[in-house]
Structure 1
Amino acid sequence: MKELLNYKVLGEGQPLIILHGLFGSLDNWITLGKRFSEHFKVVLVDQRNHGKSFHNSAFDYSVMAEDLEDLIDYLGLKNPILLGHSMGGKTVMQFAAFHPEKVAKLIVADIAPKYYPVHHELIIEGLKSVPLDSLKKRDDVEAVLSEYISEVGTRTFLMKNLKRNADGSFSWKMNLDTISNNIDEVGKELDYYLPIEVPTLFIRGGNSDYVKDDDLDDISDIFPNVQFETIIGSGHWLHADNPDKFYDIVMKFTL
């Protein structure tokens, strides 16, 4: 039997499935998920090798789309709205490319279906440099990561992956080795054959360079039934930078 992704269900109504980005987890979406659950049956998901989901050496968008299909089928979800941020956006786009008939609407947060060069080397190096076996307290992790990652917000986000085991030792929730070994897969372009007719919304951060103006025509060719929104002043983690605006944009598109 296939392993199922870890998930959390909030509310009732039409399903709204939310997938996090690289190094993230469903916990990143709890606050917004609760707000959305006033109108939808929200399903927050840990993608494979992240959060509390299973670890597996296979790590690409094809298998992550299969994981999503398995979960949708297991939960018996009909006409789900799919929302994905960054890597999660690539996953929901890939799912919609394979199964457009199973998607009511598609929301992609600050990622394009194009190829992205590997750009997480320093983060991975920093995470791997943390001496988990000899750690005494969480502050020790912060000290190590600060040598590689200058942004406090990024370090705080990454440290949410740290867990204390029953014996008092620390470990990463994510499967760091598999993610590192397959990091080039995270930047792969979308695998598609025909225009994807699903009603689609792309939301980008005004201060982010992940979705450029030059990308919009290419996106429109792949997703002809598309709308674009930009959250001015927000970066790549636009849902965290301006959750109220993000919420309003999603609600306007979905209701």
Structure 2
Amino acid sequence: MRALTLLAAIGIALSSASIASAQSGSPPPMKVRSDRISVTVEGKGPDVILIPGLASSREVWTGLATRLRQSHRLHLVQVAGFAGSPAMPDPDGRVAAPTAEAIAGYIRRERLKAPTIIGHSLGGEVALMVGARHPDRVGPLLIVDALPFYSLLINPAATSDSVKPQAAAFRNAMLMAPATQVEAMQSASIARLAKTEAVRPALIAAAIKSDLKTVADATYELMTTDLRPELGRITVPVEVIYAYDPIYGVPASNIDATFRNAYASTPHVSLKRVDGSFHFVMLDQPEAFARAVIDFLEKRAPTTINK
């Protein structure tokens, strides 16, 4: 069940409620756009970049943003092609890697000094790419229910080359499926991604707005990209928050081992499990998730946060 859940997360995703307007006393939201990403900036204080997952809207961070915007300047990223944003085809069919470069460019262009980066799912992989490939530009990384090589869930001995045929078949099946079948797959996938039933209809609706080719290309890229050899280049603290629920059908210790082994080569890494949650920890366990994020931020840059 755990493998199905995270593989569903590779191939489909979500949106949630709208991000509330900045509270009184904060600068009004500002939008910055490039070919690969658009960024909404709100709040004031130390910089925090938030990256949503595959086919997700930046609005997935609504609850967390409400807690942080009074004490941090939030940079809420929207990836091109996801949740209704215009698609930006890549000649090599990549999504995560160009997004990572766009975020690194954004950090440089906006002169951000060591921003904290929080990424969920595909966004977590993007955060790892930025941290490993531009270590001098980032602050601490918070990775939410993401692995540096997703195909480990299919086969612990998998390699980038060995999974290419399976990844290509999965991508092609997504592109060839009729619209009705795609919608049915989305509904089934969301049920494995979000434990909280009330949020599922909005997540399905948002997934339908995503560009199918962008999602298919990103799926292939995630399944064939192994970031483990690059993790040693990350020089900042990394915390990995991951989900567990008994419905996975495996002991929690097995999930612990999967994440521990996957991140074994990461310097300065810590792992934190959140129980009673599926893939979208911020929706299924919003209070536990917010506390974990606030603790992470306060350990590295003490500040006054609305708890």
Q: State the TM bucket, normalised to the shorter chain.
A: 0.7 to 0.9
The DSSP-based 3-state class of the residue aligned with 2:37 is coil
Give the one of 180, 186, 198 matched to 2:216: 180
Instruction: Write the letter of the residue equivalent to 1:157.
Output: L
Partners of 2:139 and 2:231 lie apart in 1 by 19
Are the equivalent residues in 1 in contact too, given 2:141–2:239 (CA < 8 A)?
A: yes
Aligned to 2:115: 80
Identity %: 23
**1:104-155 CA-partner distances (Å, limit 9, x unpaired):** 100000011124255977x947985149xxxxxxxxx9xx538962736555
How many Å separate the matches in 2 of 1:127 and 1:40? 43
Partner SS, residue 79 of structure 1: coil
Per the alignment, residue 199 of structure 1 pairs with: 237
Question: Which structure 1 residue ranges, 5 or more long, are not aligned?
Answer: 132-140, 163-171
Greater displacement, 63-72 / 149-158: 149-158
**Which amino acid letter does the alignment assign opposite residue 188 of structure 2?**
I
Secondary structure of 1:56's aligned partner: coil
One-letter amino acid matched to 1:177? K
> Hey, what does 1:17 align to over in structure 2?
49
Q: Give, in whole Å, the separation in 2 of the partners of 1:130 and 1:161.
A: 13
**Structure 2 equivalent of residue 129 of structure 1:** 179
Q: Give the equivalent residue in structure 2 for 1:41.
A: 73
Matched AA of 1:149: A
1:254 aligned counterpart, secondary structure: helix
Match of 1:194, SS? helix
Q: Note the aligned Cα RMSD (angstroms).
A: 3.3
Q: Which amino acid aligns with 1:223?
A: T
- Per-residue deviation, 1:225: 0.3
CA distance in 2, matches of 1:220, 1:178: 27
Larger RCO (alpha carbons 8 Å, 6+ apart): 2
Further displaced range: 63-72 or 237-246: 63-72
For the residues of structure 1 that align with 2:124 and 2:296, how far apart are their CA atoms?
A: 16
| Structure 2 counterpart SS, 1:112 | coil
Task: From 140, 144, 154, give the equivalent of 1:105.
Answer: 140
2:146 and 2:279 map into 1 onto residues whose CA distance is 9
Out of 75, 83, 87, the position equivalent to 1:51 is: 83
Question: CA, structure 1 residues 49+8, in 2 after alignment: closer, same or farther (shift >3 Å)?
Answer: same
1:138 matched to which residue of 2? none
Match of 2:204 in 1: 158
Runs of 4+ in 1 over 6 A off after TM superposition: none
> Which structure 2 segments of 5+ residues have no match?
1-32, 155-166, 192-196, 299-307
Residue 145 of structure 1 corresponds to which residue in structure 2? 184
* Bigger helix share: 2
Contact 1:5 1:71 in 2 (8 A): no
